[in-house]
Structure 1
């Protein structure tokens, strides 16, 4: 079993943090074998610890480890110099023989040795070329254990890394640790009921009720922890009518119709099966999963057609945000192209999970189909 899979074992058991440095891997020296450390169930030389993560990593702005440059599948994403996190679980594939004479992209160079250190199984790099954006994200979330350091609470959460979509949904909280997904469901249902009443009145009267819509906007912003835009009730109704009409017809809303971290939440309540809350955390999760594969994705006609507007939302702060990504991504903040691309992408992720519902790492705890709001909740946590 590969070095990568042994690292995943230690992450799952809590011995190694999800975002780790090389020093975190040297937690268990092997008795009687100087310079050897146990990772998972296998003993490795210190030189392997120093070089393997770097050589099989992809970093911001297209930085690649030596083995990745030679066509091997990346196993880790380099968040910054010397800081790594798993990209996704590597599948069995070609056999790769590792030597210690490899260059670390963070600047460390290990002196050449004649001894073969280990043999690991990695997927051929070409295997990822045919994978779609929704598939890459769904698989990445399923296979990467989720655990973060919460600065305000001064704790690691969850205590044991959550692995799989279902476990990640159970690890959701907002805004406080005790407010889990089940707790938030009651708030969401109340807003959905308001939205349904507004939609019913729209169908009957062919216009939105400004006062009802304003109350919903107040509640949405309060729940989401964002400032409500200063807009009069009538202007709010006019904006929402124009945006919803365009969304329903698959068109880009006309210039002048606002979209930001507040408006995206309103439209998500009014179109719960079609509109995702595209804020900095959701954007970060989507881009982080796709960024290592962007050169391959740019060759896919479907990606260019459906997701070319997808961009970063770097205005958010906290946790691991803002993160450094390659220069490919444009600024998606307050851009309808980015919102619509995210809508399409997250709906595709939801559908992919439901099509493959028999997989345990895709299944929800209660066995019901995934909703767009639940997919969004998992992405929201991943983008912390």
Structure 2
């Protein structure tokens, strides 16, 4: 799979009339050759596993670990594909801006390898697929309530870079943060949606949503800071504009907010394992990241993005282990997880 991704990344020369080249460019357009779409899956998968562990603790006979893993997998696929649609929408809206930014000028739409019409159709296909998966996961209940908020925030995200929102002190990271945080409510609904109203699912998953919202502001602000030279020339709106010369202090405040929200979530879970594997690991990682970030070197923000992706993957593992510990079926759980992942890959 990594070999395929490398081919997709480097083979960008357009070949007129090549269907294979178009498919590659559409996948690149959705960022499926990169780790970015995984970031959209984390909060939903974490929430599904945490809600499942919580439900098993309260009443072990009402739900099975296999069902929880199934719902987590559906949540992952739905978020992954939806994120692909969102990436296409972002590039479709920003196609003229991207042509003038060094980091984005070679994206398929900006470079002319994919037409605006082709991109728009591809986006609709992915959106329809994610809606269909949501129907399956929620068994037809409250699907619109789950999909509409995140769809609206995704639509608004690229426009958040415009000066209109800057005058309102609204930055694109706010929309992105909501988009990545909202699946925490969806993950909760995937486990408890048949028993409690949507508003209660939102309330119970709120600490996790705040965690992901603040975490997204943190990692995206650091990542976007790489473009400060080009963005300043075009007067692009971004959260680091709010931070100004205090960008490093701003990131420290966001990291503290993230850890504070994690504390609230883990206090509700009451798990020694999660305190060690989540809170301690994240705190040490943030300390390491912030010591390395240099406001005078914008490129130093890039590695922070990748390290936080690794944190997200690790936290999925931690939540799976928590589910296994709660259910008392760790070996069986890991075997089933391996089988499900093997079916996908």
TM category (shorter chain) comes to: under 0.3
Which structure has more relative contact order (CA 8 Å, sep 6+)? It is 2
More strand by share: 1
More helix by share: 2
- Normalised to the residue count of structure 2, the TM-score between the two structures is 0.26
- Normalised to the residue count of structure 1, the TM-score between the two structures is 0.24
